[in-house]
């Protein structure tokens, strides 16, 4: 890669998550997971589609870990159902 390239990534997966807990708590975010072509590993980026100022990023060794870390960084906590 040319020395002027600061960051380069290949999109691994992308998802949009819509949260709706009534009029007071709604959100629509796009999560994108990239393979880091310069440093290795993976990074994920989240952006609120209704308010582009709201963003989150995370890095990890696997795409799944990057996505989960980015979810937490964005303030989203997903819990597994008991017994699942």
Residue 23, in any domain of the structure: yes
pLDDT tens digit at each of 84 positions of the chain: 556 767 789 999 999 988 777 777 777 889 999 999 999 999 999 998 888 888 899 999 999 999 999 988 887 765 555 665
CA distances from 63 to 71, 74, 77 (A): 12, 16, 18
Domains held by the chain: number: 1
Residue 56, in any domain of the structure: yes
CA-CA-CA-CA torsion sign (80, 16, 45, 34): positive
Residue 4, in any domain of the structure: no
Residue 69, in any domain of the structure: yes
Q: Quickly list H helices, 1-84.
A: 63-73
- Give the pLDDT confidence score for residue 77 in this predicted structure: 64
Q: What is the model's pTM?
A: 0.76
What is the chain's Cα-based Rg?
15
Q: Provide the 3-class DSSP secondary structure of residue 18.
A: strand
Domain range for 15: 9-73
């Amino acid at each position: 890669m040319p020395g002027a390239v600061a960051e380069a990534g290949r999109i691994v997966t992308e998802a949009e998550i819509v949260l709706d807990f009534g009029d007071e708590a709604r959100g629509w975010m796009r999560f994108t997971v990239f393979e880091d072509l310069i440093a290795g590993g993976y990074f994920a980026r989240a952006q609120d589609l209704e308010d582009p100022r709201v963003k989150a990023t995370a890095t990890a060794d696997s795409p799944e870990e990057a996505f989960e870390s980015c979810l937490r960084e964005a303030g989203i906590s997903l819990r597994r159902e008991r017994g699942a």
